[in-house]
Structure 1
Amino acid sequence: MGSTTYKTTPLFGGALVSDLPERFADVSKIRQVPDNQEVYIDKDGFTSIIFDITERVGPPGSSLEEDGKALTTHLEDLVGSDVDTVKVWNTTETEFTNLDKDIPAYTLIATQTPKPDETRGRTAAPDFTAIILTLLRLERESTDILITINVPHIKGEYDEDEVDLALGKQGELIGDAVEYAARIWSSFKVLDWNLFNEI
């Protein structure tokens, strides 16, 4: 653990910037990525980090209840019809070091387990995928920024005895992803607020 090297990475043409693990590759160099997304994937593994600029959901103003609902809405959008296979383990308020303290942000950790009938014949289907989802609510800009770290756990690629979220055991892959998330919270900056008028 802790051997990750980070590099300051410009996102959305440099309008945003964040530290990302050096060994993560920009997916848009390989395939088409929507304009409102930046996707990075671990060259040595299966974990991906996605920045997604979306329209703000929910009524104006901010309350734990409304923001919690927004987080749930985004999670449901993310997993689509698989929502009944998702378990949310915890949700916490999150602080971004370089943003105004009054900008609400939240992070949840969830797992999605494929339905048994979907794994037949698909040998590479993960046992489960951990999702670390951070929601940043920019009310003035009518924008929600989602930062999602997807961590597929593929049989043989992780130590099953090390992962038991019910007992608070995250295992190495999720532990690493939490570290990436914390580094993003401390390094993420908005350099050009006009970005949110354009997307």
Structure 2
Amino acid sequence: MDMSGEGQGEEKSLYGGAMCAFLPPDAKDVSLLRDIPDNQEVFSHACTDQSFIIEIVEFQQVPDQQAAKYHFEDIASSNEAVGPDNCQVECVEQIPLDQTGMHQCSTAWLLSGKQEVTKFNEGVEARNCVNIYLALFRLPQHGTDILITFNDPTQISPLSSSAQQQPGVGSDWTLDQFKAVLQTLRIVDEGLFA
């Protein structure tokens, strides 16, 4: 897997400084707009409906090569995107650890897939087609899985609240920028998992 990415961006402190990563310069911290669970850091694109979500979750007792799919399906269930027409895994690859800053993890995986989801319970007719790239860093010694999700909508329903967004300046985030986030994500203080 080629993890080379566009390195531009700015370093963001995550989880009160216990982690950090370089995010694109137009990444807006969603916690400034609404409540976000303590186990998540959520950043949205300033002009599009794209987002990055960094999430600390309980380590799942499933084989490493199946764990990314497990979490993808869990996200699909939360998004009410279940069923073969609404949720598809396209590819799962192992990420070489020497291409990440996460030297504490045992394995790392990258999944790409698609989901049809609605925002804010807007109903089936307002479903948006979203490419989902999910990276999984496994830390069994801390009983933790770390997920980094890049949500990249490809088709917005005219009935979705996302269709009301005003276009702005700036360009869409790319898969290379997501890979750059994965390369630069670091744990600064392992006390985060205590």
Hey, which of these two has a bigger chunk of helix by percent?
1
Report how far residue 110 of structure 1 moved: 0.3
Structure 1 letter corresponding to 2:12? T
**Per-residue deviation at 1:152?**
1.3
Say whether the 8 Å CA contact 1:56–1:144 is kept in structure 2: yes
**Map of 2:116 onto structure 1:** 113
2:193 is equivalent to residue 196 of structure 1: yes
Q: Which amino acid aligns with 1:143?
A: T
1:187 paired with 2:188, answer no
Alignment: residue pair count: 168
CA distance in 2, matches of 1:139, 1:48: 27
Q: Larger relative contact order (C-alpha < 8 A, sep ≥ 6)?
A: 2
Q: Deviations over 1:131-179 (max 9, x none)?
A: 00000000111100000011112359xxxxxxxxxxxxxxx96xx4311
CA distance in 2, matches of 1:70, 1:155: 29
- Secondary structure at the aligned position of 2:131 is classed as strand
User: Partner of 1:28 in structure 2?
Assistant: 31
Spell out, residue by residue over 1:28-67, the C-alpha distance to the aligned partner (whole angstroms, 9 max, x if none): 00000000000000011110000000000016xxxxxx11
Partner in structure 2 of residue 140 of structure 1: 141
C-alpha distance after superposition, 1:14-41 (max 9, x if no partner): 1000000110100000000000000000
Deviation at 1:72, TM superposition (A): 1.9
Gaps of 5+ in 2: 158-170
Deviation at 1:89, TM superposition (A): 1.1
In structure 2, distance between residues paired with 1:74 and 1:3: 26
| Aligned AA (2:177) | Y
Q: TM-score, normalised by structure 2?
A: 0.78
- Say which of 6, 12, 20 aligns to 2:9: 6
CA distance in 2, matches of 1:22, 1:98: 20
Runs of 4+ in 1 over 3 A off after TM superposition: 2-5
Task: Kindly indicate whether the alpha-carbon contact (under 8 Å) linking 2:20 and 2:188 is maintained by their aligned counterparts in 1.
Answer: yes
1:83-125 C-alpha deviation (Å, 9 max, x unpaired): 311111111111343232862000000011359xx553x3xx4
Q: In structure 2, what is the Cα distance between the partners aligned to 1:24 and 1:98? A: 20
Percent of aligned pairs with the same residue?
29
> 1:82 corresponds to which residue?
81
Q: Tell me the equivalent position of 1:45.
A: 48
> How far apart are 1:180 and its partner, in Å?
2.1
TM-score w.r.t. the length of structure 1 is: 0.76
Q: CA RMSD in A?
A: 2.6
Shift in Å at residue 181 of structure 1?
2.0
Aligned to 1:73: 70
The answer on whether the counterparts of 1:15 and 1:191 sit within 8 Å (CA) in structure 2 is: yes
| Alignment partner, residue 161 of structure 2 | none
The separation in 2 between residues aligned to 1:177 and 1:144, in whole angstroms, is: 24
